[in-house]
Chains A and B, each alone.
Chain A
Amino acid sequence: MASFLNVLLQNLISGPATDPFPFGETFTPKRIRGRIVVDPGRCLGCGMCRHVCAAGAIHLQKDSKGWTITIWQDSCCLCRSCVTYCPMNAMSIDPDWHSAHAEEDKFKRIEQHTISYEPCARCGTPMRVMALDKARELYADDADVDPEEIRHLCRSCRQMSDAENSTVCVLRSDINTAQQEGRD
């Protein structure tokens, strides 16, 4: 008898269990998969994300000036494959889950970036500028290299410059993996 009164009392003081949404605020779990975003500062246009995308949500169009990467949010199943396989960690997941929209906005829910090539600082060939933190990471063991400068060189000029100056350039796959695991 007493135990049932206890439950009754607890229910009275604990208030309703219903989430006030949509009349009030709701909670958003920290790791919820809302929508996929790509960082245009990091993307290399390699096409790995398009290759692994289960839902065919990623479109990549290349020409001589650069490329356009498009993600159609209405097709993305948020499997996170592109985040895992992107070699530049350019993909990430935004917790914004407000996805309901009217039919006329169906094709407007895209994430699109046009990325242009820039001329190599040495030879002038159109090339993709390396992300600054990637350059820092590669040349972390060599204090003589200015990452800001070297990231504006194309691949062959960078190889030449590294050979001329006996630069230490180390690809840290372990750091890469650790960073990626910490991301999500």
Chain B
Amino acid sequence: MLDTLLKKTSVRSPWLFRINAGSCNGCDVELATTALIPRYDVERLGCHYTGSPRQADIVLVTGPVTVHMRDYVLRVWNEIPEPKVTVAVGICPISGGVFRDSYSIAGPLSRLVPVDVNVPGCPPRPQAIMEAVVLARSIWLKKLGLEG
């Protein structure tokens, strides 16, 4: 009963969480742009960046997952409650990009955790990230058993 109530009331606002898995900061800047600049304003979709993984619904991962970051990424990723939607932002977490096959790369991300949405680009433009968030939101609603 409480469960259904929670599901119903939270559908309008999936909260976002960012993990930097060794990114050059390019994609992170674009993510900050979608959230902080009124021009793109991701909060219109009900999304809000949260500082705690325990409150997150959609996790946006940037960076190729370096060997050094792997354990931290997995630890934080596991702290996010299910159902969660994982979004790979930029070519690095998707395929390794320019760092593929490097000795210091543990990625791509899909080797470590299940990924749901990809948004390639180096970096992707804010509008493309918004599209990815919209897609992630509909996948999230499906995971909750509520069609969006």
Give the B-binding residues of A (Cβ under 8 A): 16-19, 21-23, 26, 32, 54-56, 72-79, 97-103, 105-106, 109
SS class, residues of chain A in contact with chain B = loop
Cβ contact within 8 Å between B94 and A17: no
In the assembled complex, the Cα of A104 lies from the Cα of B8 at a distance in Å of 28
| Contact A74 B91, beta carbon cutoff 8 Å | yes
Closest residue on chain A to residue B96 by CB atoms: A75
Provide the bound-state CA to CA distance between A78 and B91, in Å.
10
A18 touching B91 in the complex, CB below 8 Å, given contacts A100-B119, A102-B135: no
Q: Which of A16, A17, A100 is the one whose CB lies under 8 Å from B131? A: A100
Asked whether B110 lies within 8 Å of A21 as measured between CB atoms, the reply is no
Q: How far is the CA of A179 from the CA of B122 in the complex (A)?
A: 26
Known contacts: A74-B91, A99-B128. The answer to whether A18 contacts B40 by CB under 8 A is yes
The CA of A73 and the CA of B117, in the complex, are separated in Å by: 15
> How many positions in chain B have a CB within 8 Å of any CB in the partner chain?
35
Residues of A close to B97: CB separation below 8 A: 55, 75, 77
- Asked whether B40 lies within 8 Å of A100 as measured between CB atoms, the reply is no
Q: Which of B95, B125, B134, B135 contacts A74 (CB 8 A)?
A: B95
With contacts A72-B95, A76-B91 taken as known, whether A26 is within 8 angstroms of B120 at the C-beta atoms is no
Can you report 26 A-B residue pairs in the complex whose CB atoms are below 8 A from each other?
A17-B38, A18-B41, A19-B40, A19-B127, A22-B130, A23-B44, A55-B95, A55-B98, A74-B95, A75-B94, A75-B96, A75-B97, A76-B120, A77-B91, A77-B97, A97-B121, A98-B131, A99-B128, A100-B132, A100-B134, A100-B135, A102-B118, A102-B135, A105-B118, A106-B94, A106-B110
Residue from B100, B101, B110, B124 within 8 A of A103 (CB atoms): B110
- Contact present for B128 and A18 (CB under 8 Å): no
A102 to chain B, nearest CB (A): 6
Residue contact A74 to B94, C-beta cutoff 8 Å: yes
> Bound complex: CA of A143 vs CA of B128, how far in Å?
50
